[in-house]
Chains A and B, each alone.
Chain A
């Protein structure tokens, strides 16, 4: 029998015959709004090029693999054991000092900014003091790989190009760790041995011991097993999703900070609250370690100079050496000095913990005084500035994070989320955009790399020229800047931090931490040439710790199946016993299950973070963050000015809302099917193979089974039910009710720092793995496919009424209730072409933000190019796409996310 079945926009399933077991269902694999593009694949607008030096560095990066080393953990652990019995924070400082002091320096030819995380270009290392479990669990497997020996040729290495810089398999003398990091085989035995020393002593192990004391802990275990929650917080990424503060090094220099510590030690030794004494001593010790680290690089630079015949390169090495020797003790003299010092402290913090989302914040405003001084004195040009900024981009791009594998792959997609913000307001409420930020945008176009990503803090006071520069950058397909509403963020901050003393003036100092986490800041008085500049910087700890990603569709699945995880058959929640005969009943049980989830995860994660603060407290980041150095308390002792930073993150909100709308419409209001019928259809995946069987993770390109016809009617009802993103009040009201309840309920839970929690709505990459373990959903989504990305993005292909309808749906609630919202749009390059396209594009963004939206970001790309890139990755090493709060190289993304990005609705018109 023949069947033509309309799904979304242009997706029409193929003719199906009853005697076929499986039928591929795709005639057009793209979702479009507007007129479908024809002809050749449309490229993006012409790109600019970096300087020759930077292009060389970029090509080297493309050819470089993610590489792990053991020297930092070896020295850290050796010293840790050596000083057993010391005050814990001093012990930690001594261990960090030993780690930094023994890092092998590596300076590459052509670099203008020196120093890196480890002794490889994309270097990183495991931190077994946070968690050693992976290495112990994999011990046998990794040992076997280490015993294999062999030499690898360049050709063999080149064949590993698929997957970009990921070392996807063990080759020759290199062992692949989790398909991502390469480790020299001779380092594996010592890594295992070092990891064993942390057994029952790491933050993971000790935290686990105590989190089991939480009443109803078993529910937490079941929640994690069912992947209703993506990952624990305290030992995975205990810091990050926050904004750096570079004030103290820029104002005082390293020796100056040490002098502050000495003075503070004198003031606190023997007085009550002695933890302050140990904190100052710990900072002092740690700074000595950083000084050794910097001096080792200076020495290496002089060694490299000694080998150099090329006079220009020789002078550059000597310049690096002189600069590092100066900065070992002193405050920066120039823009170049200040940029180098900022980079040193950025890497230093990254080496302190497993961290993603350590944002440089409003760096163009922080460094502006130095830049202006140099420009006024005629010792710097705009061209040289751009080259330095391009070098900075390469340094940020080389950052890798060695965290647990589920986190690196399933959440981060290999990204590290160093978000640089531009625009916003200054202390007095005027536009903070400056000339240096224009050059930051320029360098982000000429050197289009994933890091640092840019966020433009949009305010009506920003000059049009600045906004159009931002548009120019977005248009070429970098995925940045993301456009963020300054006023909405300030409203959120004032609502949440006023009890800690935040005033309007300080609310203006905010920036994005990580991919999209609104983070409080402060203005600090930088003195230069007898002038005082108030520079912004972060004043809070990690703003995205607590409950990491609750899968809303999975909670709904448990509601429909009486508390069970249908994938595993295990009981997660107590049976509710409700017949779910009304919408209110369903909604009530959902709220109950969701609340159970938040409660038990909050308690368990509070314990993990408490243990982190005891075993592995932050010293470097604490020193940098106002007011830790002033009050003598580290971050875990609430030394920061603002401490209400624990949140509850969710994923799959739009699929939840679409599913609730489908149930309400089809089962409750119109009674077109019973709940039992719907559940049976869900369990049968509407007659399709699951995405895990097909290896395709978006709704398009799925494969029917021979039972497809049995579920067709129900599937059509589910797909035809009202969908979010079309300005349809039926579903938007459900969305609004969810948003208001969610943001309010978070305040019922107390963080480790005894503050109410708040809601956070970003998907990062979790919509892929969390979708993978979730059955089909009542909105018609199939089993194993990804959820909608972001928080207010429409489900791919379901937004049929154009961008302004989507904007109306997205702003049906107050975005300032939450730490963020996230809207990703994919636009065909032809739509924003030329000056007219730029204007139209900017007006569309303004229209959305003026409705009270928090955030919007874009992929300007022809979907056919992405499909081609999936087939021919070797042709697209430099292709970047915006995922959810971050830009990443296409070839370094997992297939789940690739499929999801391809499936997103592509807008062919925005008017």
Chain B
């Protein structure tokens, strides 16, 4: 069939002899948006790295045809020149440079003699951002002034500036709020109408359904199906991804909710950069034994700051009291918080969760290592026993515990971080975005584990940007807005609209009703 912008034929890629991609075909027309779906580790990112020449031509088998001519790019530079732009899952912005400087990074407009033409760049950057409905961004300010959501859109602006013909978006909405996602989807629709093709990779299948024309599902490095979106549904995509029927997204397990176990009183966090500004403003709440407390809110509402302050990991000045089982406890640093009975699975897995140079097993035992030591010598036997126990308890998929943690998929890395924290035997488990960048199958397992832990009497505080998730597993939902509590709901007949309304503005939601199972 003629008219393809780009075709990938029989792409195969191996890592140390292990096939990661096995004969994948993909064809894109101009102005088409393809949803690339698959569980973590299915090979989506690998395929896109082949396409964008992160893996140069020759390190994989198969053929890429662009405009009817074979494309044999040896570097990302060459694919970018050909109009193929990839926006990676991790943002590639330089925080200290201005917004405009970032947008023009590598493509600077220069005056004779190599001087930067700032007026021209700033003007063009502002134009691009207006097109992205970001008129309030000051292009001369450093990128670090803006939150994750804005940064994601600035990254897209950077891609547009390179005259993208094919835009690859790898999990673009992972750190976006609902309203920012809406903007993002609008931008993609606009790009499509201008003939730009997109490959959209996301675990959020509702977005795929909303924006994509065609859905390509891959599993274990193999092509499963290419189907027009009209003939698909979210359920069918999930079925194709998992290769099994997934009757429900959220498991259920009865877990009795007991007495109040933890109480946070008057937590206030100040912005480390602007000490006058409050990121969290006088927040108090309670959580009960065996209760799953969801904390919702838009990005920047202060949720992460609140939970890190409770755990003693907030980098700036903060005040407030933390009470555990009726006693005031000192949680001024993570070590003390863990000893008191808290555990935190942080939001930023790469920087705050895993220790890259340690193996899977060594990561899991990091917090409780002295437990396996006699006269400070680690008993490998005991350590290995505890590790394999955790691995089977969490259904963590790894060939051996001696494998490098970085070789695992996102979901399994998350399980390793969770295992590390569970070994400390927490009374209160804080999960900050526990399923970010985690595939559907692993998500389900993490929810199931949360319910089991709650049934064992552990109080769970879960911060999440995915409303469906908050409503799917929580017993009670707190909503934060601009550093304050703006809602406290028992999760019975609670709907997304109510929570969203509290997160976005309407104050004074229903007061909390203490409930017992």
Q: Do A and B come from one complex?
A: no
